[in-house]
Amino acid sequence: MRQNKYAAFPKDFLWGGAIAASQADGAYSEDGKLPNLSDVQPYLKGMSNEEIQKLEMQGMTLDEVKKNLVDTTHYYPKRHGIDFYHTFESDLELLAEMGFKTFRTSIDWSRVFPNGDETEPNEAALKHYDKMIDKMKSLGIEPIITMLHYETPINITLQYGGWKNKEVIDMFERYGKVLLERFGDRVKYWIVINQINMIQIEPFLSLGICKDQYDHIEEAEYQAVHNQMVASAKIQKYAKTLNYDLEIGTMVADGTVYPYSCKPDDVVLAMQHNRMQYFFTDVQFRGEYPRYALHYFEENNLNLDITEEEIKLLRENTMDYLAISYYFSQMVDSTRNVNKADSTTVNPNLEANPWGWNVDPQGLYHTLSHYWDRYQKPIVIAENGFGMYDKLEDGKVHDDYRISYLGDHIEQVGRSIQDGANVIAYCAWGPIDIISCSSQQMSKRYGFIYVDLDDEGNGSGVRMRKDSFYWYKQVISTNGSEV
């Protein structure tokens, strides 16, 4: 442990961690659940990390989705997760042992409304989440609940064409209302949609759109995210009518970039790229479409169906706080990149993990500062973590690399608070090992708690405390003054 030179965390700061139901729960077909987007992603044995992530960014075809639904050849890790659906009580007790003040997880839409278009919710699912939330509260853990974390029912893709279809807005609004009514007395903090800006990085998981479903795929993607923002505003509008103390947040993955050099072309491209990242939060916090975004749509022949009623709804129902996921930073080079979210350049000045994610703690300070300066809205670090191959030896994992990464990043969170940013929570990603979102691997581990499972689901499932478990416990007990 070392002293944090930026130990500026308030006394009521929420220390904790985050997972997603789609990556942890398992229980693929129990209690009425039907398949969601994450359930049709196979583990691609024998492929390199680079090849797996390239396929992820390309998305899936409609035929691939249909084929994967009935495939018996491949292993589908997210259908099994770490069995958190059944082990949540003992897992939450382990998190409480570390001193967790908060825990972020998601509720699976495909459990509550298995097809997405039902008119009545699945009571068995709601009873399960009652138990999970009650367990958190009994342990003194403040729930942060995400309504949608890559769990859109697959029926929405197959029958409705994904989130591009405006009918999905009403389906999701119905789902959101059920969650607020059922759990609003115990859950204060809600994130409506996980990483709403991932439309060009994870278009299938984020929007439920197959890459061959529409002729103009980028237009379909931006229409879909518009529909998600309208749905979020409708849920915020409903939340205001309830007699609960609710905070409704939006979430982005940090997609801002540095210029590759001080050449004006690089600097301007970085500015343009960053504005199109701020577009999502500009709409959800300022309540209107910025002119630069409308100009981008015109230049790229993106004709969106945006009504005056929807604009009014967005203006009157902005979000309460910002949740951010941060893992690495990126750059743009005007000689190699264009103004698209997935067009970036690797920073040669930084080291990376085996999946090519550059380690840049100051990048977190950089992005927190810019988002705070732009909106002055409370900020939750919804995800921050270090994926690595862990080595289990005699029941122990000596993960100094994770301790170093997280300690450096927590220090930069304190630095942003010292400069005035109102950061209220820090959720380390994957405090217990879960299935990787981007690669379907169990071996890409983030946790403070090791789970004895491999990439093909083999193992005992036994939980073991890593060195980082005891380190994070000390971070929490000192309120971040030691890292």
Q: Is residue 67 part of a domain?
A: yes
Residue range(s) defining the domain that contains residue 247: 14-477
CA gyration radius, the chain: 21
DSSP string, 14-46: EEEEE--HHHHT--TTSTT---BGGGG----TT
Instruction: Tell me what pLDDT residue 376 has.
Output: 98
* DSSP 8-class letter at 78: G
Give domain status of residue 84, yes or no. Answer: yes
Angle between helices 400-418 and 361-375 (to 10 degrees): 30
Length of the chain measured in residues: 483
Report which residue type is found at 472.
Y
- Flag whether 7 is in a domain: no
The terminus-to-terminus CA distance of the chain in angstroms comes to 5
Q: What is the pLDDT of residue 230?
A: 98
- Taking a C-beta distance cutoff of 8 angstroms, is the pair 463, 91 a contact? yes
* Side chain identity at residue 200, one-letter code: Q
Q: Residue 101 — φ and ψ, nearest 5°?
A: -95, -20
In whole angstroms, give the CA distance from residue 309 to residue 38: 33
Q: How many domains does the chain have?
A: 1
Confirm whether 2 is domain-assigned.
no
Helix runs in 240-307, H state only: 264-281, 291-299
Q: Is 3 within a domain?
A: no
pLDDT on residue 51: 84
CB atoms within 10 A of CB 301: 9
CA–CA separation, 209 and 223 (whole Å): 11
For 123, other C-beta atoms within 10 Å of its C-beta total 12
Is residue 9 assigned to a domain? no
Q: What pLDDT does 54 receive?
A: 76
pLDDT attached to residue 378: 98
Helices (H), 192-263: 203-207, 217-239
Residue 74 lies in a domain: yes
Mean pLDDT by 10 residues, the chain (483 residues): 94 98 97 98 88 79 96 96 98 98 98 98 98 98 98 98 98 98 98 95 94 95 98 98 97 97 98 97 97 96 98 98 97 96 93 93 98 98 97 95 98 98 98 95 97 97 98 98 97
pTM above 0.85, yes or no: yes
Contact call for residues 429 and 437 (beta carbons, < 8 A): no
Which letter, b or e, does each residue of 412-432 get, where b requires 16 or more Cβ atoms within 10 Å of its Cβ? bbbbbbeeebebbbbbbbbbb
Q: Is the dihedral of CA 278, 207, 228, 123 positive or negative?
A: negative
Residue 171 lies in a domain: yes
Residue with tokens 């930084």: 350
Q: What is the CATH number of the domain that holds 122?
A: 3.20.20.80
How distant, in Å, are the alpha carbons of 19, 64, 147, 318, 411 from that of 189? 15, 36, 11, 15, 24
